[in-house]
Structure 1
Amino acid sequence: MPARATAAIPHPTHAAHSATAWDEALIRRYDTSGPRYTSYPTALAFHDQFTADDFTQALERSNQHQRPLSLYVHVPFCRKICFYCACNKIATKNTGLAEPYLSRLDREMVLTARHLDTQRPVQQLHWGGGTPTFLSLAQMSDLVDRLDARFGLSMAPERDYAIEIDPREADVFTLRHLQSLGFNRLSLGVQDLNPQVQKAINRIQPRVLTETLMEEAHRLGFRSLNLDLIYGLPFQTEKSFADTLSQVIELNPARLSVFNYAHMPSRFAPQRRINEQDLPSADEKLAILHTTIEMLTSAGYIHIGMDHFARPDDSLAIAQRNGSLQRNFQGYSSHAQCDLIGLGVSAISRVDDVYAQNPTSLAHFEAALDQGRLATVKGLRLNQDDLIRRDVIERLMCDMQIDLAAIGQRWEINATDYFSAVLEQLRAAEQDGLLVRDGLSLTATPTGRLLIRHLAMAFDAHLPSQSAQRYSKIM
């Protein structure tokens, strides 16, 4: 068994992390729909007038700054569909489908790398999906070889090379192979350990599968393990999820992501297989969240923000303490100031001052690359206001506080005038105890940390023109 969590390493804001102020009426009043701010502006602001040429120009501009690179590779294949899933995926047992996809990925790498100074270090690598472990061991090796040939991968100790793993189709040999390829961080999908819940979401996964992989990963010396859980799934109760959490705490992962299930069957077809009557009520979901925060903070985890928890000695918690935490399309990241290159169907890049997204259709993705061009179908070049507000929202989401005076100095603006409407809009949240204002310094209270998306929304200049129905509930 992995060792239990040690006592929390003290740091100055630990009380703010562990204290739980729980005003249910207030939380419910502010529990509206809103963005998760994995980017600002959000993907709803992307438009199809943004072309592959715009993206290649951004790649070339980015060489002037010499920022390190972060590579995200989307592997869309899954052997079975989990009914809750809202990811871009293709359900198939035919592993032969991966070969032509890997070939297209290589073409995309070649087309991208020709515009980049590939001496820039690749500090981060993340394989997501779908299920990256759908690939055979040989295919994984091939993909790493291609990435290394096109971009130059690193074996530096501080690299952050992560892969999402389905414990139902990985074993100790998989982990040993991934380690040999240079991966040093794993994210294991668990969602819930309750058999009734697992059956309802079409994901039967006994605890022993997860436990065996975690023991081997610890033995092999993987630097950080993350477990994904979801609350709000069918048949979950406060008591049943507390039982799952107790077992997870025993497993002692370095990080936990506890996502709020957003039931949106009109947008995500697999969710239509979930019976809405089996979902926990809004009251039960809040109780589950409350218990989750209480149990994890009592076990020594830091509530990073939103749905992320980490042990005090994990790089996420350390990055938050030193102000270098970043938020991107994979959630929170400890490596700030990287240009993110997204590879594969549906992948999004964040390079220089643009976002660029590939098509969500595999056929459209393949067709573009077969014609010898990048598959960019939409994106956005940020203007000065977007860049300023992105800075504010990202720091607020990562640090749970924002110094607008420092923002003013950084961007050479009069912050008092620039954000006067925002500060007026936040007055109600301040009066309700979600934030404390000291001049131009705003700090989220423990309750405000739970509702940080709401506070960030005040700075979002694009939000008034977007439909709230496209976003999930905050909690």
Structure 2
Amino acid sequence: MASFTDHLVFDEALIRRFDINGPRYTSYPTADRFGPEFGADAYRERLERRRDDPQDRKPFSLYFHLPFCTTICYYCACNKIITKDHGRSAKYLKYLGRELALQTGFLDPDDNAVEQLHWGGGTPTFLSHDEMRQLMDMTRRHFRLLDGGEYSIEVDPRKVDRATVDLLAELGFNRMSLGVQDFDERVQQAVNRIQSEEETFAVMDAARANGFKSISIDLIYGLPKQSVEGFDRTLDRVLAASPDRLSIYNYAHLPTLFKPQRRILDADLPTPDARLQILARAIDKLTSAGYVFIGMDHFAKPDDELAVAQRAGRLHRNFQGYSTHSDRDMLSFGITSIGKVGTSYSQNVKTLDEYYERLDNGILPVFRGISLTPEDVLRRAVIQSLMCHFELSFAAFEKEFGIDFPRHFAVELAELGEMEQAGLLRIEPGRIVVLPPGRMLVRAISMAFDAYLRANRTQNRYSKVI
């Protein structure tokens, strides 16, 4: 495996040269390649195929999309519903129960082990305490959450008190990610998210007191009114709190796609130079503080499970980002949620009305998906290896997939020649190694193996890789 003691190299000239638009590769093929030809019937067939083949069943991963928020953050590109009406979440939970029953009805009743669960949103902590208990009770009615599993939730510290964190621990959650973005008051006002350090760190303290195994903080660079100095102060405060993981996301300003972003003025955004300076400073501070670069925008302490899994070659990537669990079937529930069963991906309908109508008629609420070809499975494994481990062995792929790697990927290897000459990677006899200057650009490197991009070079639908 590549050496993860190597320092991450931030080379501004290389980043400017290779900072193109590209997918995040939480799946391959990416979600924009899903189509309506893979619908409810195709998804049901995949569930039944798992039911009828008991060989090598691994525990499930579960995802619940909880879309409700009480206020809108202008930068947000998530699928969410702004409301203060808990009548809407009460109805939604009722239908989540119907979807749970419908999906599990196509599975073997004994095939119910779960070792990964995630509540995302929206704001999962929009739910009342009773609603949280209700959702977890419904889940446990259909599934068996294994001891030692990874049970995580996205938390908005503005909506959570000590009693809520106590309840989350009681329900079985042992990991959480806290949205912060930036503590600079000018930035918070510009994005309509006023959040104090005190309420944020009080939630962290409560989680630690409850034995949460991993606490992650999410930051965003490139927001309006942001500056190197202001973000520097945020980093100092966050590092003093010593989270187990940190994610530093690139704000993608796409107001034509996401209406809330239209409230952000272009003139308030940091210049491209300032954005790079903010990112460079963040990387320097995190690595100096001992955090390990996991990939893309994720950092973790050396003893965190992500860093341990990466060193051991067990790191995986799915719709929740980097994961310690290898390839698992992921059952997903709620609007827009994306799941994976066997060699297929599927996505639920995007609106509440469609979701409720489908379930009222006993129809799985899947509206699009894709069945992977053997070539898709091969290329997904190549991209996974690069994204998670910064290297791949030709021999391993030749053994598993029965190919001659250099011949099969002759065009791709030739295309990587420019990046090799630039020092982003090294193509050796028998392997590809992403070098420290190339690790920040691993999305751009992985794109060489994306056959769908090769067929259709339209990349404007994606954000910049940096």
Note whether the superposition's TM-score is higher than 0.5. Answer: yes
The structure 1 residue matched to 2:309, chosen from 315, 319, 322, is 319
3-state SS, counterpart of residue 65 of structure 2? strand
Give 1:80's aligned residue.
Answer: 71
Distance 1:263 1:196, change over 3 A: same
Residues 2 and 391 in structure 2, CA contact (< 8 A), matched pair in contact too: no
AA paired with 1:140?
Answer: M
Aligned to 1:91: 82
Cα distance in structure 2, aligned partners of 1:142 and 1:340:
21
- Does 1:243 find its partner at 2:233? yes
The one of 313, 331, 336 aligned to 2:321: 331
CA deviation map 1:224-270 (0-9, x unaligned): 10111100001111121111001000011101111000000000000
Q: 1:259 aligns with which of 240, 249, 261?
A: 249
Tell me if the contact between 2:331 and 2:341 (Cα under 8 Å) persists in the aligned partners: yes
Query: Cα offset for 1:12?
Result: 8.0
Q: Give the match's secondary structure for 1:457.
A: helix
User: Cα distance, 1:85 vs. partner?
Assistant: 0.1
Alpha-carbon offset, residue 415 of structure 1: 1.2
> Matched residues in 2 for 1:354 and 1:12: separation?
30
Q: Distance in 1 between matches of 2:58 and 2:190?
A: 45
Q: Structure 2: how far apart are the matches of 1:32 and 1:440?
A: 28
Check whether the contact 2:2–2:390 (CA below 8 A) recurs between aligned residues: no
**2:439 is the counterpart of 1:452:** no
1:378-400 residue CA offsets vs partner (Å, 9 max, x unmatched): 00000010000001101110001
Tell me the alpha carbon deviations over residues 374-421 of structure 1, each in whole angstroms, 9 at most, x when there is no partner: 000000000010000001101110001111221111111111211111
User: Structure 2: how far apart are the matches of 1:258 and 1:365?
Assistant: 33
Letter in 1 for 2:24: R
1:128 match: secondary structure = strand
Is the contact made by 1:68 and 1:337 (CA closer than 8 Å) also made in structure 2?
Answer: no
Q: 2:29 aligns with which of 31, 41, 45?
A: 41
Task: Give 1:28 deviation, angstroms.
Answer: 0.4
Task: Decide which of 120, 124, 128 is 1:128's aligned counterpart.
Answer: 120
Indicate the residue corresponding to 1:308 in structure 2: 298
- 2:132 matches 1:140: yes
Q: Distance in 1 between matches of 2:267 and 2:430?
A: 46
407-416 or 345-354, larger mean C-alpha shift: 407-416
Q: Which string of whole-angstrom CA distances, capped at 9 and with x for unpartnered residues, describes residues 106-131 of structure 1?
A: 11111110122343420000000000
Quick one: distance in 2 between partners of 1:369 and 1:466? 38
SS at match of 2:449: coil
Q: Are the equivalent residues in 2 in contact too, given 1:35–1:42 (CA < 8 A)? A: yes
Distance 1:168 1:359 in 2: 29
Give me the whole-angstrom Cα distance separating, in 1, the residues matched to 2:293 and 2:162.
Answer: 30
Question: Identity of aligned pairs, percent?
Answer: 48
Deviation of 1:466 (Å)? 5.3
Separation (CA, whole Å) in 1 of partners of 2:395 and 2:448: 17
Q: Which stretch shifts more, 201-210 or 435-444? A: 435-444
Q: Map Cα deviations across residues 312-339 of structure 1 (whole Å, 9 max, x no partner).
A: 1111111111111111111111111211
What is the SS of the residue equivalent to 1:468?
A: coil
Give the whole-Å Cα distance in 2 for the aligned partners of 1:283 and 1:442. 31
Q: Secondary structure at the residue paired with 2:45? A: helix
TM-score, structure 2 normalization? 0.97
SS of residue matched to 2:366? coil
Query: 2:48 maps to which residue?
Result: 60
Q: Match for 1:112: what amino acid? A: Q
TM-score, reference length from structure 1: 0.95
CA distance in 1, matches of 2:104, 2:197: 42
How many angstroms apart in 2 are the aligned matches of 1:216 and 1:418?
A: 53
> 2:450, 2:85 → 1: CA distance?
43
* Letter of the 2:15 counterpart: I
Deviation at 1:58, TM superposition (A): 1.1
Q: Distance in 2 between matches of 1:419 and 1:30?
A: 21
SS at match of 2:230: helix
Task: After TM superposition, list the pairs within 5 Å mapping 1:220-239 onto structure 2.
Answer: 220-239=210-229
1:8 maps to what in 2?
A: none
RMSD between aligned residues: 1.2
2:193 matched residue in structure 1: 203
1:101 aligned partner, one-letter code: Y
Opposite residue 363 of structure 2, the aligned amino acid is R
- Residues of 1 paired with 2:232 and 2:4: CA distance? 23
Residue ranges of structure 2 left out of the alignment (5+ in a row): none
Are 2:295 and 1:297 aligned?
no
Structure 2: distance between partners of 1:350 and 1:12: 29
Is this contact kept in 1: 2:65–2:119, CA < 8 A?
yes
> What runs of 5+ residues in structure 1 fail to find an aligned partner?
1-10
Distance apart, 1:365 and its partner CA: 1.2
1: distance between equivalents of 2:386 and 2:61? Answer: 22
